[in-house]
């Protein structure tokens, strides 16, 4: 599947290249990271009570906090912990939603090294318990985003340990995945794709 | 409801008072905070694939990170952000679970000031979307824990703004809530109470 915008180009008008002056200025986060775009989309869904889905905070190991100042406490020493889950979860249409969002600069394949074993294990457990689980994969060079079902992801994950490839070909993602086209509101209407994978 | 342990006392044998020498030493986290006990319980549920429920990391605003050392990056300046959700969520029996855990030293009532407006709003939205939402309330003086449904909590929350009380009487919590008795594995078997509130 390829993105076709009015005018016949497959460039995303909301993501102008750095060499072009933006033509639309009336919304925030434009041209920022996948994370920022998803945050905007989740706010949109939240405000309309369509879904309650949040990105989890980055896990931090706090070592030293300065409580002395009259103002707020200041964390003076802390370290990044590795997350034991995916980054996003919540509820939509009564169902538990769980996913991670990953970007790749590759134009031909999504490297499986973007995932950690514990994230895959987390997704497996959520799938077993009846959750709607997937990855949002963005090919940053072309601004294409796909929803890729966790169950499809597991196939490739497991295959790589049996001599399979270390990445998922983009063609496969286009075939098995669900292309999500950028909009104004929400920027990334990924729940449309979720509708398609819900039973 | 009152907790009655063998021997006719209503003291929790796994939570001896500070004046008593612990009699059982073969498990971790005993006598620690509600959070630690819930973490242990959630690990238990996770390992047995009964439920995937995690405490969200504390939200932090990171200002300064030192990447210079060869070892891991060190966060040198950061601030605590207010969470926009409750602390716990996940999936159990295909359902979205969302709750917060609160302790009170009061022996007669649970002060509503333990909750923030935005947490109540978050719970309301999750309930609307079909989530199983509640508070776990611990009376620390007596080591009693109750599951209190979010819908019951809303009644008291709303009433306080119309001249109602600023707390929920313990008697009401005993009446409407579900007493959760400490066990060895998991320490806080709160999913037993969740079973009772699920349709």
Q: Which residues of A touch B76 (CB under 8 A)?
A: 76-77
Whether A131 sits inside 8 A of B60 (CB atoms) is no
H helices present in chain A, as ranges:
34-47, 117-128, 150-160, 170-176, 190-197
Suggest the residue from B46, B84, B91, B119 to mutate for an interface test with chain A (most A CBs closer than 10 A): B91
Q: What is the mean pLDDT of residues A175-195?
A: 97
Confidence check: pLDDT of B182 > 50: yes
Residues in A 112-171 with any Cβ partner in B closer than 8 A: 122, 125-126, 128-131
Give yes or no for A28 touching B (CB within 8 A). Answer: no
Q: Which of A149, A145, A147 is nearest to A181 (CA)?
A: A145
Q: Give residue limits of the domains in chain A.
A: 34-57+84-197
Confidence of residue A23 (pLDDT cuts 50, 70, 90): very low
What are the contacts of A166-169 at 24+ separation with CB within 8 A?
A166/A111, A166/A112, A166/A113, A167/A106, A167/A109, A167/A110, A167/A111, A167/A112, A168/A109, A168/A110, A168/A112, A169/A108, A169/A109
Residue A20: the pLDDT is 41
Residue A32: the pLDDT is 60
Residue A149: the pLDDT is 98
For residue A19, what are its two tokens?
């060499």
The more confidently predicted of residues A22 and A122 is: A122
pLDDT tens, A108-161? 999 999 999 999 999 999 999 999 999 999 999 999 999 999 999 999 999 998
Mean pLDDT, chain B, rounded, equals 86
Q: Which of B52, B130, B131 is the closest to A129 by Cβ? A: B52
For residue A173, what are its two tokens?
């993602």
Count Cβ neighbours within 10 Å for each residue of B113-143 and write b for 16 or more, e otherwise: ebbeeebbebbbbbbebbbbbbbbbbbeeeb
Confidence of residue B32 (pLDDT cuts 50, 70, 90): low
pLDDT tens, B55-65? 999 899 999 99
Give me the helix-helix angle, B34-47 and B190-197, nearest 10°. Answer: 80
Q: Which CATH number fits domain B34-56+84-197: 3.60.15.10, 3.40.50.1000, 3.40.50.670, 3.40.1350.10?
A: 3.40.1350.10
Q: Which residues of A touch B122 (CB under 8 A)?
A: 52
Output the furthest CA–CA distance in chain B (Å, rounded).
Answer: 61
Residue B184: the pLDDT is 92
- ipTM for the complex shown: 0.82
Confidence of residue B30 (pLDDT cuts 50, 70, 90): very low
Confidence check: pLDDT of A17 > 70: no
Confidence check: pLDDT of B70 > 70: no
Mean pLDDT, chain A, rounded, equals 86
The answer to whether the CB of B100 falls within 8 A of the CB of B86 is yes
β-pairing, A132-139 vs A95-104, is parallel
Suggest the residue from A85, A129, A150, A191 to mutate for an interface test with chain B (most B CBs closer than 10 A): A129
String of DSSP letters for A132-185: EEEEEEEETTTTEEEEEEHHHHHHHHHHHTTT--SEEEHHHHHHHSEEE---SS
**In degrees rounded to 5, what are phi and psi of residue A122?**
-60, -45
Q: How far is A19 from chain B (nearest CA, A)?
A: 30
Q: What percentage of chain B has pLDDT greater than the value 70? A: 82
Whether A80 sits inside 8 A of B57 (CB atoms) is no
The more confidently predicted of residues B83 and A79 is: A79
For residue A133, what are its two tokens?
């689980």
Q: What is the mean pLDDT of residues B137-145?
A: 96
The more confidently predicted of residues A68 and B39 is: B39
Q: What is the mean pLDDT of residues B74-85?
A: 90
Q: What percentage of chain B has pLDDT greater than the value 90? A: 73
Cβ-proximal residues to A61 (8 Å cutoff; 6+ apart), any chain: A78, A79, A80, A81
Whether B91 sits inside 8 A of A126 (CB atoms) is yes
Residue B83: the pLDDT is 83
Q: What percentage of chain A has pLDDT greater than the value 70? A: 82
Q: Which of B46, B59, B96 is the closest to A95 by Cβ? A: B96
CATH number of A34-57+84-197: 3.40.1350.10
Confidence check: pLDDT of B72 > 80: no
A40 is in an annotated binding site: no
Confidence check: pLDDT of B10 > 50: no
């Amino acid at each position: 599947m390829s993105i076709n915008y009015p005018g016949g180009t497959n460039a995303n008008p909301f993501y102008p290249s750095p060499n072009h002056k933006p033509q639309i200025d009336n919304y925030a986060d434009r041209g920022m990271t996948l994370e920022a775009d998803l945050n905007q989309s989740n706010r949109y869904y939240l405000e309309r009570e369509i879904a309650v889905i949040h990105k989890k905070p980055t896990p931090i190991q706090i070592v030293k906090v300065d409580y002395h100042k009259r103002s707020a406490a200041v964390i003076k020493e802390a370290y990044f912990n590795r997350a034991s889950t995916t980054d996003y979860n919540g509820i939509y249409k009564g169902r538990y939603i769980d996913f991670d969002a990953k970007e790749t600069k590759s134009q031909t394949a999504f490297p499986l090294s973007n995932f950690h074993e514990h994230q895959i294990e987390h997704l497996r457990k959520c799938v077993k318990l009846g959750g709607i689980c997937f990855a949002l994969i963005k090919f940053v060079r072309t601004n294409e985003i796909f929803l890729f079902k966790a169950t499809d992801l597991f196939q490739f994950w497991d295959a790589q340990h049996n001599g399979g490839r270390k990445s998922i070909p983009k063609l496969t993602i286009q075939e098995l995945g669900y292309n999500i086209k950028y909009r104004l509101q929400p920027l990334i209407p990924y729940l449309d794709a979720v509708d398609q994978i819900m039973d």
